[in-house]
Amino acid sequence: MTTEMQEIAITEERPLLTGQAEAKDAELAARILLDQGQEHSIETPHGVLHVTLHGTRTTRRPAILTFHDVGLDNKSCFSPLFKFEEMQEIVKNFTLIHVDAPGQEEGAAPFPGSYQYPSMDAIAEMIPSVLQFFNFRTVIGVGVGVGAYVLSKFAMANPDSVEGLVLVNMDPNARGWMDWAAQKLSSVTSSLTEQIMSHLFSQEELSSNSDLVQSHRERISKASNLVNMELLWKTYNSRRDLNIDRSTSFKCPVMLVVGDQAPYEEAAVECNSQMDPTTTSFLKMADAGGLPQLTQPAKLTEAFKYFIQGMGYMASSCMTRLSRSRTTSLSSSYSMEGSRSRSRTLSQGSQGGQMPPSPSQTMEVSC
């Protein structure tokens, strides 16, 4: 009798358990879809762009639009940063739009030998089609290396479409004769993979041959679209000077980011000197190497949050554990002028939820 009652009980509960399992499966599937993103092929005046969207298409706020560096795609360049735990507070409030340069997405088919790769100017002219496709009026751009240059070109040509720029490893200058000669020599003595690796990582990082360096070297050397990477690499090395003018070039706040040992540290410092100091922040990160978004995601996330708060978004955001424990070390080194006021601004902005506008200062993170 007891056994029969137990069997009846199990039979009665089975539909409920099945329903719960189906709900959990649906939730898991939704999370996987959100994590992987929605992939789109978008027609533009200069060809097709592979774009991945994360989150809903709400247009109440600007989307965060990213553009990667050469030798990388949107996943290898940005996934560690935007999947970082402290970054989720930002991610849940904004739609993410990851743009891959033509033929650079993972698994892309190699272009035929007759293909004419678009110039840097043409790639920048492809971005408005992405905004139109998703019906976004404005974006906050996050670019690394090649992506920083492309988004700068886009912002200069479309100032009303960009609310802010985060430019990592920014080099606004065209290749000089010495650079051109060095590149020609490098193309003879080094493989394409090693040329790109020297662009992405510092000599110290390459010498140490860390797991990160090894994994990227292997990924690039075995990429099915290596010929496409070479086309982008050549196009970037043929870029024109941006001719930045501090009074007219950018109409939005800009945060320049570079590692203290990055290959483009000097170029980023020079770029900072050309920018409007009232709207530009310069973040030099200690121990960050050539790809700070991969090696120091915690520090970059914290700086990005302050940047967004300074634009008036996420005003109620609280200080994270990183900031609470390291507020004093975040501003370890500043330019001499106004360093104390800038340090107070960081503290007030994190406690009050919004960082009030203040003159730009050079900030060197060493925490």
pLDDT digit string, tens, across residues 272-301: 999 999 999 999 999 889 999 999 999 999
- Rounded to an integer, the average pLDDT of 236-245 is 93
What is the greatest pairwise CA distance in the chain?
94
- Mean predicted confidence (pLDDT) in 2-6: 46
How far apart (Å, rounded) are the C-alpha atoms in residues 258 and 281? 11
% pLDDT > 90, the chain: 66
Q: Report the C-alpha gap between 100 and 95 in whole angstroms.
A: 16
Residue 351 pLDDT grade (very low, low, confident, very high; cuts 50, 70, 90): very low
- What pLDDT does residue 59 have? 76
Strands 162-168 and 139-144: parallel
- Mean pLDDT across the chain: 81
Q: What's the pLDDT tens digit per position in 246-262?
A: 888 899 999 999 999 89
- Given a cut of 80, is residue 24 above it in pLDDT? no
Output the pLDDT for position 182.
58
Residue 364 backbone phi and psi in degrees, to 5: -115, 110
Over range 67-83, report the average pLDDT.
97
Q: What is the pLDDT of residue 247?
A: 80
> What integer pLDDT is reported at residue 180 of this predicted model?
53
pLDDT at site 154? 98
Q: What average pLDDT does this structure show over 201-229?
A: 96
Strand pairing category for 362-365 and 38-44: unpaired
**Who has greater pLDDT, 217 or 180?**
217
What pLDDT is stored for residue 347 in this prediction? Answer: 32
Strands 254-259 and 280-285: parallel
| pLDDT at residue 124 greater than cutoff 90 | yes
pTM strictly above 0.95: no
The SS3 of residue 46 is: coil
